[in-house]
Structure 1
Amino acid sequence: MKLLFVIQDSHGWAGTERVTNLIANGLSDRYEIEVLSLSERPSCEKGYLYKASIVRSYIPIHQGVLGLFSINTKTARHISRGAYDVVVISGVGEIKFLLVAILFCRTKFVAWEHFNAAYTHRRVNRKVAARFCDAIVVLTRADADDWQLYLHPRGHIVRIPNPLATIPRQPSLLTTTRVLALGRLEEQKRFDLLIDAFVLMHAKYPDWTLRIRGTGSKEAELKNRVKELGLENAIEILPAVEDVASEYQVASIYALSSKFEGFPMTLIEAMAFGIPCVSFDCPNGPSEIIAQGEDGFLVPYGDVTALAGALAKLAQEPTLRMQMGRKAREHIKRFDQEHVSALWEDFLAKLCQE
């Protein structure tokens, strides 16, 4: 079987690039894989490492109506010549660059949703995917329900969660007094609510600290809020780092305060390090990852007091932290790369038999 993954930029460092890399590598021993970037080839190698057998190709995007027409023509020609069995569009937003190919190329097209249909279903790209793609791959059961409810796709809706690259040999010792949160400093992540919750927790447990790592448009606003609270020594807002493992190793609680998610990989990664997680029960993902009261806590979205209470409970009870951390590390094995790759293999085999 010959597969083509289409992605905005295979050399990026974000979540979409990471999971595309993991799945492409995981399938490469069985299938002929190519990854097409809708971007210029970089002057130096960067991004996640692909196996040597995987072909990398590039068609850069040009702005404007003529640019859109040009790239549609080029991608259609590329797909026609490649004679792929399946084209996986990694990120539904890229479908606008593949319209000609979808209409005229005789291959199966799969839209791989990395976000949340409840918040994105009004976008034209989702409606196009629902109308023309042969299948939609989503990350959660809730998102599968939302695609059916809002978009009624003609093709199958298949739930395949994102994979965990590895389960680290050495878990966090959970002996520090640090709460960790990772993510873009944008409205969606609602780090302002996490800071408010931490303020309540810190009043009871002043030796605990909060470290937020990320960059984004809310950085100045969040830092000003910390300064106003006089908690510069307790709350750190630092740039994102490539080596996130070093952050997980020295954290004892992981917190997620998002308004919505597609599938929060940071929860899975933290749990792989044996860290109990506290999260808003936002759509979609946390409730399908955290087992409430067993390996972490879910609280209603926006309930700052409940978020603070869950953080405080874990801060107060180190034995509970350890117990939840061990269960988290065990439960997360259902997301290992081998298992998730097998789900993709089964899905692709059935798709090509139709």
Structure 2
Amino acid sequence: MRISFLLHNGYHYGGTIRTTFTLAEELATRHEVEIVTVFRHRDRPALGLPAGVTLRHLVDLRTDSPGYDGDHPDFHRPAEVFPRGDGRWRQYSALTDTRIGEYLRGVEADVLVATRPGLVVHLARQARRGPVLVGQEHLTLAGHGYRLRRDIGHEYRLLDAVTTVTEVDARAYRRLGLTGVRIESVPNSVPAPTLPPADPAARTVVAAGRLTRVKRYDVLIDAFAEVAADHPDWKLRIYGSGDAIQDVGGELARRIEERGLGGRAFLMGSVTPMEPEWVKGSIAVVTSQRESFGMTIVEAMRSGLAVVSTDCPHGPREIIEDGVDGRLVPVDDVAAVTEALRGLVEDDELRAKTARAALASSERFDPVRIAARHEALWTELVGKGASRRTHARGRAWLHHRVGVGVDAVYALKARAGRLVRGTRGRFRTRFR
């Protein structure tokens, strides 16, 4: 198969980029794979180029590049095809509308995969008939605002498939009633470790992720302080950076001092890759109020750590089997985190047993296995032929000919469905 991924910015770093690169690299061992990034702001990808994968960009933001697009007049005009409900809308423009449209019209692929809701909506609105269209949800449906959820409910009907990273989120998408659209949950993948597993005898607790309030590292610090009072040889390392406006890092540093943890709890900053840091510990802790999946949980398990995680929406319960390969505890409950952490700290045999189980169970997230699940779905859809899309380009034609914005077309569709249905045939005839 020829597979093309559409990504926001493949030259940056983040969970969606990392998991897309991992999937693309595995698929490239058997298929022709490219990643098309809307934006390019640096010379080389922060995460490196996946082996066997072609990477190309649509809009160049490098000011020292001969192809710099920041001075293009359309770069400063607002986007009308990319949906306003997507939080990245202000980064998009009339230029990105045009460039993405040109890419979608000219790409030769069997499968087109868009990796964030705004790009999925854009894909549905402008893609030509023929390739299988797939929307990947790397966050959660419930986490999007009303305007974007409305766009999803309308435009995703033109897709062939939607994949989510958890079954809970797949059920939410199925409740939208996207008739004829395959909705499957396929978790993110994490490559096999390149280092030996962590030593269960290590006296270090590790946590990793952005320093934001939703991660509730304050709960972790308070829980660790209770355990460290009886086990002063244990240390806590928290990896990640945060938002300077919120200054969560500063708040956490003050909390560490207030709890008397100086020299035992450390804010380590961002580190890439994390694998060498995971294996320095024996226990990983996740105290988030919510997760779209839980990549750090899988990463820690693959490195052979026992994991304590809050039982937050959506991912942890689909990753951890409580009491077997980790512990699940209530959200925002310092006492529960303390108890679970203490149980692993004080029982060397339990900690080692849990770590072994985590290492074994996490193999189901290996890229080979995850890629095979995507592959099976896409192969089936390609075998069924062209998708059911009939009027996406009709909306684009209406905008071009009479100046009606896409959102205005939505209003027509919602308030005068009979009229829009009556004009669909003309759109279809014009664009066959």
TM-score band w.r.t. shorter chain = over 0.9
The answer to whether 1:75 aligns with 2:74 is: no
Q: Tell me the equivalent position of 1:228.
A: 258
Q: Would you say the 8 A contact 2:10–2:40 is kept in 1?
A: no
Please give the secondary structure, in 2, of the residue aligned with 1:236: strand
Structure 1's unaligned 5+ residue stretches are none
Q: Tell me the equivalent position of 1:291.
A: 321
- Report the alpha carbon displacement of residue 129 of structure 1 after superposing the two structures with TM: 5.1
The 1:89–1:227 alpha-carbon spacing in structure 2 relative to 1, beyond 3 Å, is same
Task: State the distance in 1 between where 2:234 and 2:349 align.
Answer: 17
- Report the alpha carbon displacement of residue 263 of structure 1 after superposing the two structures with TM: 1.5
After superposition, what is the alpha-carbon deviation per residue over 1:259-280, rounded to whole angstroms, capped at 9, x for unaligned?
1112211111111121110000
Q: Tell me the equivalent position of 2:134.
A: 110
Matched positions, count: 351
Q: Would you say the 8 A contact 1:117–1:146 is kept in 2?
A: yes
Q: Tell me the equivalent position of 2:397.
A: none
Mean CA deviation greater in 339-348 or 229-238: 229-238
In the TM superposition, 1:325-340 aligns within 5 A as: 325-340=355-370
Q: Would you say the 8 A contact 1:7–1:38 is kept in 2?
A: yes
Among 216, 220, 230, the residue aligned to 1:190: 216
Task: State the distance in 2 between where 1:200 and 1:173 align.
Answer: 23
Q: Tell me the equivalent position of 1:319.
A: 349
Among 166, 178, 201, the residue aligned to 1:153: 178
Mean CA deviation greater in 304-313 or 223-232: 223-232
Q: Would you say the 8 A contact 1:68–1:97 is kept in 2?
A: no
Mean CA deviation greater in 64-73 or 292-301: 64-73
Q: Would you say the 8 A contact 1:92–1:111 is kept in 2?
A: yes
Mean CA deviation greater in 225-234 or 178-187: 225-234
Q: Tell me the equivalent position of 2:202.
A: 176
- Report the alpha carbon displacement of residue 97 of structure 1 after superposing the two structures with TM: 4.7
TM-score with structure 2 length normalisation? 0.76
Q: Would you say the 8 A contact 1:26–1:337 is kept in 2?
A: yes
Please give the secondary structure, in 2, of the residue aligned with 1:4: strand
- Report the alpha carbon displacement of residue 190 of structure 1 after superposing the two structures with TM: 1.6
TM-score with structure 1 length normalisation? 0.92
Q: Tell me the equivalent position of 1:343.
A: 373
- Report the alpha carbon displacement of residue 7 of structure 1 after superposing the two structures with TM: 0.7
- Report the alpha carbon displacement of residue 257 of structure 1 after superposing the two structures with TM: 0.8
Please give the secondary structure, in 1, of the residue aligned with 2:342: helix
Q: Tell me the equivalent position of 2:26.
A: 26
Q: RMSD over aligned Cα, in angstroms? A: 2.1
In the TM superposition, 1:1-354 aligns within 5 A as: 1-40=1-40, 42-44=42-44, 46-52=46-52, 54-60=53-59, 62=75, 64-65=77-78, 68-95=93-120, 97-98=122-123, 100-102=125-127, 104-120=128-144, 122-124=146-148, 126-127=152-153, 130-149=156-175, 151-154=176-179, 155-168=181-194, 170-217=196-243, 218-354=248-384
After superposition, what is the alpha-carbon deviation per residue over 1:33-54, rounded to whole angstroms, capped at 9, x for unaligned?
11111112623454233224x2
Q: Would you say the 8 A contact 2:294–2:316 is kept in 1?
A: yes
Q: Which has the larger radius of gyration?
A: 2
- Report the alpha carbon displacement of residue 243 of structure 1 after superposing the two structures with TM: 3.0
The 1:29–1:129 alpha-carbon spacing in structure 2 relative to 1, beyond 3 Å, is farther
Q: Would you say the 8 A contact 2:125–2:155 is kept in 1?
A: no
Please give the secondary structure, in 2, of the residue aligned with 1:309: helix
Q: Would you say the 8 A contact 2:38–2:100 is kept in 1?
A: no
Q: Would you say the 8 A contact 2:200–2:282 is kept in 1?
A: yes
The 1:64–1:191 alpha-carbon spacing in structure 2 relative to 1, beyond 3 Å, is farther
Please give the secondary structure, in 1, of the residue aligned with 2:266: strand
Task: State the distance in 2 between where 1:266 and 1:283 align.
Answer: 15
Structure 2's unaligned 5+ residue stretches are 62-74, 80-91, 385-432
Percent of pairs with identical residues:
30
Please give the secondary structure, in 1, of the residue aligned with 2:96: helix
- Report the alpha carbon displacement of residue 112 of structure 1 after superposing the two structures with TM: 0.7
Equivalent residue letter for 2:218: D
Task: State the distance in 2 between where 1:301 and 1:43 align.
Answer: 41
